[in-house]
Structure 1
Amino acid sequence: MRVSIVLALVLAFVALAASETCTSADGCQATQCDSASEVACVNGQCTCQLRDGYCDFLEDCLSVANWFCPQEFRHCVDNRCRCRFDV
């Protein structure tokens, strides 16, 4: 049960990040990221990106531990690991 609640909260944060539009990270008022991530504005959409999450390939982001972003939402965009629904 506890796992289900945690998963629901994580998905809620990801949904917020996926739905808010922006022109800069300062405009992402509703987007909340975990402690390993920071808010970013990418292609007009608010998202969370790892503070130290640099990548060359998707596999680099998939292998990151202690990041509360479900595997299916992880992307490598502009050499940064980002958590979002679409790219």
Structure 2
Amino acid sequence: MVMITEYSIEKMKDPFGILTGERYEVLLDIAVPEDDELFTEAGIYIRVLYKVEDSQSTIIKYDLLERGTDKLLDFELEDEEIEAVRAFCIEHLAEAL
């Protein structure tokens, strides 16, 4: 399961008015146990692009990145972890700047 230690949420601007709905960038620092294949000394964070349109909301894309280097990690979250991230985003969207 994903253990979120810190986060930030920012509403993305669409200066050309091309995109429908509202887009958010959510950065989630996560704690990863040393025995997990995702573990790195630098740490891991998840960058989530999240969309809200009408009464529907969804994760457009997410990336797992190494803290400090921003190196893209070639791993995917499990379904239950994706759902936990989605629920976290829904819960905290009102905090977006």
Normalising by structure 1, we get a TM-score of 0.26
Which protein has the larger Cα radius of gyration, Structure 1 or Structure 2?
2
Comparing both structures, which one devotes a greater share of its residues to helix? 1
TM-score under structure 2 normalisation?
0.24
More strand by proportion, 1 or 2? 2
